[in-house]
Structure formats: structure tokens, C-alpha cells
Amino acid sequence: MSFCNENEREWEKESLGELCDSVHFIHLNKLKRIFGFIRKPYLPLLVSSRWHVEVAKTISNLIDRYDPSRVHCEWGQMAQYISFFSNVPCRTLNLHDVIWQWCLRKIKNKGWLSKLFWKLETRRAQKWESHLYKNFTVIYAPSSKDLMLLNQTQHLLKDRLIVLQPPFNRFKKTRTNINGQGALLFWGSLRRKENLEGVLWLYHQVFPLIKNKMPEISLNIVGANPPSKLYQLQGKNVSITGFVEDPTPYFANSDLAVLPLFEGAGIKIKVLECLASGIPVITTKIGAEGLDAKEDDGLIVLNPEPEVFAQEIFSLLSNGEKLKLLSRHASEWALSFKKEDIQLLVDPPH
């Protein structure tokens, strides 16, 4: 059972059908979200937007039909359906972010009325999460930071929390040639607001400063579903690929990945994929969230200021030996980064 938002397609349905006895998709739109808010006004906003009567009925019917020994929920919002399977012996929940942390981020750079709203939402989410999550036998958190945040609000969760780090080895060891000639990479799905915001900031605020010093520098923006306005930025120095079946060539010929992110939750797979392929990454604090990699490991975290980003990019591209060293260290760090333990998902501890 899965929700699909407006930007998502059912492309997985056929492959899921080979693994699952049945597959159910609930397509989200503004009307359905509003209906959820109206039906469940006492729930946090991010939670009530994922309330749908069809989900509740389908879960209930599946429980009656199969009498399962385990139910697994992906994303914290799905915990709101716990009452429909509270008698199932093993109930597991995989969080992609702590919801109250997501609300807390919304307070930044807002007007006073919006800040007040998100402060109240943060408190509501803390209360909701501390109440609902304790009904699960095992809870997977994407990083030790998220685990700590959950322990802050509900100490009873401590014995059932497990850090389950995401997989990221699609483009492992693809970086073949660090030459420092100025090939920059932005990698990520461009239908996501935070990625689009980051790449527009990079293009308009940072890239002109670098071009003044390095006229031949290039920027490859690689990712699916770029809006039409983004294609207008293409030119001699800028390439926008849209969806590519195999992005490996772009990874293999990039000197630096520049991923400025101002919103987003949890560990960013795009950052991990770049590091694993041997590309040093320049990002913001949000882009590096949940990762313990340091600058010497190829993860460079900067304040989101155009001059600061431009200076660091220029400095690294002007030092080929340092780039090669960071490239090697990035791959080595990624190898040491604990991979997802599939067995924890298949056979969770009780």
C-alpha cells in the first residue's frame, strides 16, 4: 500500500507485482490532502495529509484476510494506522525523518505568524510521535542523530530503536579522472522543490562568480523532471540532461559535486552517491545532515553564502593534488560507511 504524490508515477507497479500478492496505490492531490486535514484536524499537518479512508479500509481487509505475523510501515506518517494492526505480533516502522524535526526547520526565515504556526506544529508532532511510535516493536532511524532526537521525546523507545542507514552504492567507484579543469556536477531529482531551489541558487548566485575567474568552467545539472524554465539556463558552460538512463559518465568526468540544499530531511542519498563514486562534495549543513564524514573525507560543509561557495570551488579546482586526495578519501570513507543491513529488515529483533 503506497501513496503517490502528483510528481510520482506507477512505474514500480509491474515490478512490485512480481514480489507482492497485491499492490494498492493512493494518488494524492490537494483535495485529498484537505480532506485529510478536515477529517483529522487534531493530527500534525504532515500526518493528516496522509490520512485516507481507503488506506484504512484496505489495511483492515488485508489484516482479516492474511492474519499476518508482521506489518511494516515506511515513513512516520503511516504510524497513524497502527490501530488497524495493533494485535499483529511484529510491528516495524522505518523513519525517513523525525516529523517534529521537519516542522522545526520550517520556522527558519519565516514571518512571525508563520513561525508561531510551525512552533505549535513542532509541539504537536513531538507529542504525536512520542505517543504513536511506542506501539511499534522495532523502529528504524536513518542516522544516530535521528535516534538521539527520538530518545529526547520518548525514552521508552530506546530499546527498540535501530540505526538503519540507507543504501547508496549505485555509482560506486565510477570516478576515474580528477583533472581539476572545472567540471561541476549537480545531481538530484529536479521535481523536488529543495533540489530545484538549490540548483537555481547555484546557477544565479555562485556560478557567475566562478566564471569570472575560470571562463571555461562547466556545470552539468543531471536529474529527472527539470521544469521548462530550467532548460532556459542551458548554454556554452551549462548542460541540463533531464532523465538519463545511466548517469555514470557524468559522475566519471566531474571534479566536484556542488549540492547546496536549504531544505530537506534526513540523510541525502545524492551526497552519499557522489562521495561513494569518488567525487568530493561541497554542500550546506542540511546537505550533510546525519553524516559523520569530515572535510578530509571529501565532504565540505559551508555557510550558504555565494562568495564562500565560489571561493571554495575556485580554491579546490586550482589544486589538482588536493582534489585527487579528497577523491580517494571520499571513496574510502564511503567503503567504511556502514551499509544497510538487509537482514535487519527481513528478520527484525524482537
Q: Which three cell numbers stand for residue 311?
A: 571561493
CA distance 347 to 311: 49
Q: What kind and span of H or E run contains 320?
A: helix 320-336
102 in the same domain as 75: yes
Say if 232 falls within a structural domain: yes
Containing structural domain, residue 74: 2-164
117 phi and psi, to 5 degrees?
-60, -50
CA 303 distance to own-chain centroid: 20
Residue 9 is predicted with a pLDDT of 61
Say if 140 falls within a structural domain: yes
274-297 pLDDT, tens digit per residue, is 998 889 999 999 899 878 889 999
Residue 67 is predicted with a pLDDT of 93
Q: Among the ranges 15-29, 76-90, 250-264, 332-346, which has the highest mean pLDDT value?
A: 76-90
Question: Does the structure show a pLDDT above 90 at 248?
Answer: no
Question: Does the structure show a pLDDT above 80 at 171?
Answer: no
Identity of the amino acid at 216: E
Q: Can you tell me whether residue 214 is helix, strand or coil? A: coil
183-202 pLDDT, tens digit per residue, is 899 998 888 888 999 999 99
Strand ranges in the chain using DSSP code E only, listed in sequence order? 2-4, 25-27, 70-74, 90-94, 138-141, 161-163, 183-187, 218-222, 238-242, 256-259, 281-283, 299-301
Question: Does the structure show a pLDDT above 60 at 339?
Answer: no
Question: Does the structure show a pLDDT above 60 at 265?
Answer: yes
User: Which among 133, 164, 195 is the end of a domain?
Assistant: 164
248 in the same domain as 194: yes
149 in the same domain as 14: yes
Question: Does the structure show a pLDDT above 70 at 345?
Answer: no
210 in the same domain as 149: no
140-151 pLDDT, tens digit per residue, is 888 777 888 887
89-106 pLDDT, tens digit per residue, is 999 999 888 898 888 888
Question: Does the structure show a pLDDT above 70 at 343?
Answer: no
Q: Can you tell me whether residue 171 is helix, strand or coil? A: coil
Mean per-residue pLDDT over the chain, rounded:
86
248 in the same domain as 139: no
Say if 58 falls within a structural domain: yes
Q: Can you tell me whether residue 119 is helix, strand or coil? A: helix
Higher pLDDT, 164 or 201: 201
Rounded to two decimals, the pTM is: 0.75
CA distance 270 to 238: 20
CA distance 304 to 288: 13
Domain containing residue 312: CATH number:
3.40.50.2000
* 40 CB neighbour count, 10 Å cutoff: 16
265 in the same domain as 141: no
Residue 341's pLDDT band, with cuts at 50, 70 and 90, is low
Q: Can you tell me whether residue 145 is helix, strand or coil? A: helix
230 in the same domain as 158: no
119 phi and psi, to 5 degrees?
-65, -45
- What percentage of the chain reaches a pLDDT higher than 90? 45
188: left (phi over 0), alpha (psi -120 to 50) or beta: left
198 in the same domain as 81: no
Question: Does the structure show a pLDDT above 60 at 174?
Answer: no
Residue 313 is predicted with a pLDDT of 95
Residue 15 is predicted with a pLDDT of 73
Domain containing residue 131: CATH number:
3.40.50
111 in the same domain as 238: no
What is the full DSSP assignment across 15-27? HHHHH-S---EEE
Question: Does the structure show a pLDDT above 60 at 270?
Answer: yes
92 in the same domain as 214: no
**How do 256-259 and 238-242 pair as beta strands?**
unpaired
331 in the same domain as 190: yes
Instruction: With both helix axes pointing from N to C terminus, report the angle between 112-132 and 144-153 in degrees, rounded to the nearest 10.
Output: 90
CA distance 70 to 8: 27
CA distance 165 to 144: 9
Say if 350 falls within a structural domain: no
Residue 229 is predicted with a pLDDT of 86
Q: Which three cell numbers stand for residue 255?
A: 571534479
Say if 170 falls within a structural domain: no
Q: Which three cell numbers stand for residue 232?
A: 532556459
Task: Give the number of domains in the chain.
Answer: 2
150 in the same domain as 187: no
